[in-house]
Amino acid sequence: MLRGYRYRLYPTQDQKVLIAKHLGCCRFAYNWALARKNRAYRDEGISLSGYDLMKDLVPLKAEYPWLKEVNAQSLQQSIHHLSRAFTNFFESRAEEPTFKTKHTPEQSFTVPQSYTVDFKHGTVRLPKIGAIKTVFHRTFTGKVKSATVSRSSAGRYTISILVEDGQKPPTPEEPIPNQTVGIDMGLSHYAVLSTGERVENPGYLQNAQKRLTVLQRRLDRKQKGSKNRTKARLKVARCHQTIADQRRDFQHQLSSRLVRENQALAVESLNVDGMVKSGRGAKRQAPLADNAPQRVVTLNPKLARAISDAGWGTFLSMLGYKCQTAGKTLLAIGVFEPSSKTCSVCGSRKADLTLKDREWTCPACGTHHDRDLNAAINIKQFALTGAGRAEEPVDSLPPGRGMKQEAPSVRVG
């Protein structure tokens, strides 16, 4: 299996300058390759491959000598990332690649090889940068692959090392009904399980909103280009970083506990990107069949901030790769399965159920349902019986039964 290990870096001031050069040059190479690829397709009707673009890096360095100050393989890797982005776009896994900007909250570049990890002295030696002080909270064994250096808007430097441990992923067993739990994601409660357990939504962004508003107001009053504005911007970025760290820690603890305590998990595929889109409500579409019309669901745009704060997509990704590592089964049902409107006792549907109805009584059998608990039970039943199908794969969450990949990538730490 491929495992990713993430560590904190503490570069010197000179190394920070070199890292900034790598970030800028790799971003320039990516944008140059994207512009050239688009121009060749528009003017000549040809599609340049990644290999064709990499061959032109040599004359590009002659035109821009400052590109020679960074690792050549990192520039080539940027073009490789562009080729992968177009592949994902043509296979409908991502949107069309766009130009990168230096204002992105997190910048990164990749070192494919020729770097060394020294656990004894606590350093990682990178080409053209040197040995950087690193905090290794855990060690690893196996064959190292690529390493990705990242810098956040808060000034935090990290490195993600991809390692091939030489082990085969365990084969997931067939789900056992009484050891399978259905999970319904929500906002009032972060998750409601089919067992009746309710996990409260921590709402880290909402809790820090008052402090964040004050910091953003101070930033807005600072003169552009001044040192005080830079200091104020860092305070806002660090506040956002704290919120993200708290959310990630909560998601890791919850996902690890669910995978550890259950033999199989059943979730609902969620189009999170469509939910948070602004405008006249977020819309998400999914074809029901090859020639069938598309169904459109309009959501309240006022819920976009709360949905973003919940981080459902990241949580489902964590469940996915942790189930792979533990040999557990992750089942997913389609986004349009009527899990909330279907009675989990008799199977009848209440078509006029609205979002504000948190409790309802089945008109057929008279059972009084809690909306979220009923949805969690139905998600489990739909997944086990195969009645649900994931129409849209979400992040790394695979549709259907099981999670079978030849070389799964697992993120650790």
Q: What are the residue numbers of the active site?
A: 184, 268, 372
Q: How far apart are CA 77 and CA 4, in angstroms?
A: 18
Q: How far apart are CA 238 and CA 240, in angstroms?
A: 5
Do 137 and 413 meet the contact criterion of CB atoms below 8 Å apart?
yes
- The candidate with the shortest Cα–Cα distance to 185, out of 128, 118, 268, is 268
Q: How many C-beta atoms surround the C-beta of residue 413 within 10 A? A: 14
Q: Is 252 exposed, middle or buried (0-12, 13-18, 19+ CB in 10 A)?
A: middle
Whether 222 and 229 have beta carbons less than 8 Å apart is answered as yes
Contact 292, 358 (CB under 8 A): no
Two tokens at 53? 């673009």
List the alpha helices (DSSP H) in 269-359: 272-275, 304-310, 312-326
Q: Cα dist. 209→212, 215, 307, 309 in Å?
A: 5, 10, 15, 11
Contact indicator for 162, 168 with CB cutoff of 8 Å: no
Q: Give the angle 91-96-97 at the CA atoms, nearest 5°.
A: 115
Locate 339 and state its tokens: 């899990």
Q: How many CB atoms lie within 10 A of CB 399?
A: 16
Q: Cα-Cα-Cα-Cα dihedral of 230, 231, 235, 238, to 10°?
A: 70
Q: Give the three-state DSSP class for 296.
A: strand
Give residue for tokens 């590109």. 67
Which two tokens mark 35? Answer: 């512009």
Tell me how far apart the terminal alpha carbons of the chain are, to the nearest angstrom.
Answer: 16
Q: Got the DSSP string for 83-130?
A: HHHHHHHHTTSSPPP----TTSSEEEEEE-SS-EEETTTTEEEETTTE
Summary count for the chain: helices (H), strands (E) = 11, 17
